[in-house]
Amino acid sequence: MLKYILLGFLNYQGMTGYDLKRSIDGSTAHFWHAYHSQIYTTLRKMERDGLVTSVIDDTDERLERRIYQITKQGKSKLKEWLGKSLTELPPSKDSLLVRLFFSGSRDRQEVLSELRFQRQLRQQQLELYQQIKPEEYSPPSQLRSDTLDFDREAKFWRMTLDLGLAYEQMYLKWLDETISQIESF
């Protein structure tokens, strides 16, 4: 999947591996993230497969910046992937629920502490998402692809942020109810 995310961003504009990491961190991270080591490794593989090309940026002799660009083959691969709809629900993982599931024999105060701490983290996450303006994901207009309607793209970006917001709100509500239940044991 990371390959398609990288293609998706490079379809917007050419950028460095470091830029890609920042793009992911600032937009898709709540539903897909990656470590920089995986990004660089995947970019290498994609270049080998002809999906992207790269060139060292000469204008900055001191910082060694490698700019990646999507190729026609890469655009075609991205389009093909987007054309194949998901037909099943992919599995999801939640470490907290694993721990809670097996917490019947834990000390009640310990469980409550952990849930309260998680609640704080979720609250912070929600507040962070509330600050985000997906419209600002757009690259500067002189650099970005001419063939894309970024106003329309921004609508889709916002939809994913809306799900992130709804998810955190749902989780907070559930945490409140769960904390209350455990408090009343």
Chosen from DNA, a second copy, none, partner binding at 17 (C-beta under 5 to 8 Å by type): DNA
Which residues are registered as beta bridge partners of 51? Answer: none
Smallest gap from Cβ 173 to a second copy, in A, equals 7
- Is residue 17 a contact point for DNA (CB under 7 A)? yes
For residues 138 and 179, what is the distance between their CA atoms, to the nearest angstrom? 40
Strands (E), the chain: 15-16, 52-56, 66-70
- Is residue 30 a contact point for DNA (CB under 7 A)? no
Q: Which is nearer to DNA, 42 or 118 (CB)?
A: 42
- For residue 180, count other CB atoms closer than 10 A to its CB: 9
Tokens of 86: 């998901």
Binding site for a second copy (CB under 8 A): 1, 4-5, 8, 11, 27-33, 78, 82-83, 85-106, 110, 113-114, 117-118, 121-122, 125, 148-150, 152-157, 159-160, 162-163, 166-167, 169-171, 173-174, 177-178, 181, 185
For residues 176 and 4, what is the distance between their CA atoms, to the nearest angstrom? 37
The strand pair at 66-70 and 52-56 is best described as: antiparallel
- Is residue 38 a contact point for DNA (CB under 7 A)? yes
**Binding residues for DNA, per CB under 7 A?**
1-3, 16-19, 22, 33-38, 40-41, 44, 54, 60, 62-66, 91, 93
